[in-house]
Chains A and B, each alone.
Chain A
Amino acid sequence: TVGAVACDANGNLAAATSTGGMTNKNFNRIGDTPVIGSGTYANNQTCAISCTGHGELFLRAVAAYDVSCLMEYKGMNLQQAMEIVTLDKLVKINGEGGMIGVDGNANTAMIFNSEGMYRAMQHSRGEKQIAIYK
């Protein structure tokens, strides 16, 4: 599953996700990717999130929107909210995978509970990262 989140120079946020799904899937199975709030979510007031991993668990956790809710209702920052959802809530239901996020100040986070996540980021301040493993 691939995805991207961005904050533009005006502070506007967007998220997009795309996938071929699971190998050997049957019965027109779909995962979290096309379900707004589970795999993809963007709200200028909080964050933009794109998820990757075992879609059924991200669906049950409503993972992307949950990050936004933690920021909106509990006042958490992006990193804190993503860590709670990815490293605590998803782990407790065996939801393997991760997510990327950005907030309105162009802060980014890339959090995962699996062995690796193909990921990259670039910031206008000059920071740039490409990585696979922890």
Chain B
Amino acid sequence: MGDFSIAIHGGAGTILKKDLTPELEAAYTKGLADAVASGYEVLSKGGNAIDAVTAAVISLEDCILFNAGKGSVFTKTGGHEMDAAIMNGISLEAGAVAGVSSVKNPVLLAKTIMEKSEHVMLSGDGALQFAKQQQLQLEAEDYFFSQFRYDQWQLVKNENSAALDHNIQLEKKFG
């Protein structure tokens, strides 16, 4: 059995230290620790890399702190449109989804597209239709809601530009 490893990210940008309270920093650290542990557990039991990255990303999608799945940022119209992708280094097989709503774990939809469709990338309503056909778990709009993301959106919703989630300062308007 050779060496194995996993790395994860939960977003990058202008993360202001003054906005990150000790409590919030502890929550983010726990979210990262849980995710890397999820993936590492798969690898340590002899599981494959695809299942490991899937487990880690599901953990991050389910954590409201990160901009994916639950806790996704708001669109101009006040909804959520999520994107995800997955790729297998053995075969170069890949699956991806763009602009999908209601799917609890978009990475699982990307994986299902890779494994069970003849396509690489599906988008929008068609992707949601495929998710339903494959019986992936769906959630109502309020599942994806977080007050923090809503407050961020309120600061920029009358602008004509979009903003990286870490670059919106609550006390300072973006743009």
Contact = CB atoms under 8 A, between A and B. Distances in A.
Q: What class of interface size applies to chain B in its complex with A?
A: 35 or more
A121 B8 contact: yes
A132 B28 contact: yes
Interface string B116-132: 00001101100000000
Contacts of A14: 48-50, 52-53, 86-89
Interface string B6-39: 1111111111110010000100110011011101
B8 A120 contact: yes
B33 A120 contact: yes
Contact of B36 (A31, A102, A107, A121): A121
B85 A40 contact: yes
A6 B52 contact: yes
B39 to A, nearest CB: 6
Interface string B147-175: 00100110011010111111010000000
Contacts of B149: 20, 23
A96 B11 contact: no
Interface string A17-52: 111111111101111011110011111100010101
A60 interface: no
A1 B163 contact: no
Contacts of A2: 8-11, 35, 57, 60-61, 66-68
Contacts of B11: 1-2, 52, 117-118
B174 to A, nearest CB: 8
Nearest to A68: B89
A118 B66 contact: yes
B172 to A, nearest CB: 14
Contacts of A23: 73-74, 149, 152-153, 156, 162-165, 168
Given A20-B82, A106-B5, A118-B32, 6 more contacts: A11-B2, A12-B90, A13-B49, A14-B87, A123-B5, A130-B29
Interface of B: 1-17, 20, 25, 28-29, 32-33, 35-37, 39-40, 43-44, 46-50, 52-54, 56-57, 60-61, 66-69, 71-77, 80-90, 92, 94, 96-99, 105-107, 110-111, 120-121, 123-124, 144, 149, 152-153, 156-157, 159, 161-166, 168
Interface of A: 1-26, 28-31, 33-36, 39-44, 48, 50, 52-54, 96-102, 105-110, 112, 114-125, 128, 130, 132-133
